[in-house]
Amino acid sequence: MLGEWPDRTPQPVVIESLTPQVDAGRFPAKRVLGDAVVVEADVFTHGHDLVRASLRWRCAGEAEFAEVPMVRLGNDRWRAHFVPVQLGPFEYSVEGWRDEPGTWLRDLARRASAGPVPAVEWQVGADLLNRAAALATADPLAAQRLAAAATAMSASLTPDDSRLQSWTDEAGWYLGRNQGTASNLLSVSVDPPRARFSTWYEIFPRSLGEAGEGGFAALEKEIPRIAAMGFDVLYLPPIHPVGRSHRKGAGNTAQAAPDDPGSPWAIGSAEGGHKSIDPELGTLADFRHLLTSARGAGLEVALDLAFQCSPDHPYVTAHPQWFRHLPDGAIRHAENPPKTYEDIIPFDFDTVERVALWAELKDICDYWIGQGVRIFRVDNPHTKPFDFWEWLLAALKEATPDLIFLSEAFTRPRVMERLAKVGFTQSYTYFAWRNRPHELRQYLTELTQGPSREYLRPNLWPNTPDILTEYLQMGGRAGFVVRLVLAATLAASYGVYGPPYEAQEGRAAGPGSEEYFESEKYQLRRWPRGQEMADLMALLNRVRREHLALQSDSSLHFHEVDNPELLVYSKTSEEGGDVMLMVVNTDVANPQAGWTDLDLSELGLDEGAKFVVHDLLTQSRYHWQGRRNFVRLEPARLPAHVFLVASSAER
């Protein structure tokens, strides 16, 4: 009731606005190995006493905390950092307490400025040091130093004596902590570096080689070329046996011809299910050999994780209760009206045998992890319960901390964000449909500077087997160049559905459709080699590897320009000293020109400074000065600049 005496121990120090934290600590923030976890908090007390603050952290499950003093930034804001030394979950908290010795020394100096210091004040200081010595039981040497300092405390000292500052600094670390305040434990998930910076290439191995010869062996022959283009993740659609019931045919027709391979996402047949390999691709030994060959070339193979079945999957016979049934007893197939997928049936995650289903799905992951897979692209995770993903991903990462999971969820923003919170390492985004400069600016600012930056890592894809946007359909060569440059430089992670992108394939299944004409999802496609786009991919990926500024998202900053068809943005890296400045003409039909209004402070330049911008795509150099500089980009030539910025003294 109001007015009753509080039934808790008073906490004179307040800790507020602690960052990073996600949903008040319900979910972990995310970092990669080697990143500093920078922690800030408001720490203050009533009255005029000084306070101290410390940052404490540990690997989750460890008994002891490491600790470091926090630094006062001003206006009661404090900061410190720690660097995790291993993968997995870490815990941290902030502790604050009143700084009696520091307050005493401050007030001593004030008293001295007004006249002689009363002798009793020196006894007060000695008492503080003795009390601190008695509390320093964990560090006998500190206790000895503090006791000796108390003995040496006398009126013969002056308030500005450096020894006083040293003594009170050390005493303040011990004194008053038993009456301090500690924040709740917060967590951070530490992932491998590829979680932040990765370059994905998607390919259907069954379409490679001569007719009937596609598979892992043919894909191995492609590895040197894909690696030479600078990709480091080789993503494969599902590699499992494909069902025959209701198999889709060429052109996504409802009736398949005898030789049509069907959709790889219709998983399961008499040859096996999710723990089996389509015999048309090869054997398990062939797959393991592929993993080894890819790693030898600097590529990690990403496997598609699609928790769904064809009507022919062995699970359907063995566990019919794992699926939803219609009143007539038939199993309900997948659909996303008006689209229907008669060749696919979803699991029923609300089944009464949920425990057995979830355990089996985890066992699928454990099986492929056991074969050496460390990256999974997860198909349609938003159609499965959040609780399932939180349980599954935590269990898998506890045993194998270097796993990476890419969420393929083109759905509502809050749903995409929740999937990232519960454990997905990276996320597809709406990038494919953000084409105008103002759309890109608004969306990428939200992703990289908004609250989701602590837990959602965007992976930008200009195309996928399901997505051929109108911009690519209508934009021709310039459209493919624009979207590739944007994806590669706006985000630290991006991917392409590779062969059709190299071929600049813009033909859609029909008006208003984003399906490819003769989609590779339902038939084999022999894509022509597109050397121009392959060369541009190789160049962009080399620039990304050589410049640290392009390997993270936190520094993305948009600059003003007086032409609404132009997009101007920069990225910087304190560690590598990189300053990258990109200018892109999003109008694929017309040359566009304009005057920039650069935020020079973001580029590390003084107002009016002279500097050189070196276009890493063409090797051209331009001498610029100050905020306003002229740019003109022609889509028929190259609709983008990727500049390395250097001051005149550095050129």
- Alpha-carbon distance of 76 to 142, in angstroms, equals 28
End-to-end CA distance of the chain: 71
Strand residue runs (E) in 311-470: 334-336, 339-341, 345-346, 375-379, 404-408, 426-427, 459-460
- Alpha-carbon distance of 502 to 131, in angstroms, equals 73
Burial class (CB in 10 A: 0-12, 13-18, 19+), 187: middle
Task: Give the containing element (helix H, strand E) for 92.
Answer: strand 88-98
HSE-CB for 152 with a 13 A CA cutoff:
14
Beta partners for residue 29, in sequence order: 188
* Known active-site residue 408: yes
Catalytic member of 408, 502, 578, 587: 408
Beta partners for residue 641, in sequence order: 583
**Token pair belonging to 649:** 């003294």
- Alpha-carbon distance of 378 to 371, in angstroms, equals 18
Residue in this structure with the two tokens 């570096």, named with its chain if needed: 193
Task: Give the containing element (helix H, strand E) for 102.
Answer: helix 100-114
Instruction: Reduce the secondary structure of 563-615 to three states and give it as a string.
Output: CCCEEEEEEECCCCCCEEEEEEECCCCCCEEEEEECCHHHHCCCCCCEEEEEE
Buried b (16+ CB within 10 A) or exposed e, 110-145: eeeeeeebeeebbeebbebbbbbbebbeeeeebbeb
**Token pair belonging to 309:** 């079945």
* Measured CA angle at 413 (ends 409, 414), to 5 deg: 105
Contact 19, 177 (CB under 8 A): no
Burial class (CB in 10 A: 0-12, 13-18, 19+), 60: middle
Q: Amino acid identity, residue 102?
A: G
Neighbours of 319 (CB within 10 A): 16
Catalytic member of 379, 502, 505, 565: 379
Neighbours of 28 (CB within 10 A): 22
Q: Are strands 404-408 and 198-202 parallel, antiparallel or unpaired?
A: unpaired
CA 4, chain centre distance (Å)? 48
Measured CA distances, 182 to 15, 139, 179 (Å): 8, 22, 10
- Alpha-carbon distance of 641 to 651, in angstroms, equals 18
Neighbours of 226 (CB within 10 A): 22
- Backbone dihedral angles phi then psi of residue 488, each to the nearest 5 degrees: -75, -20
* Residues belonging to the active site: 379, 408
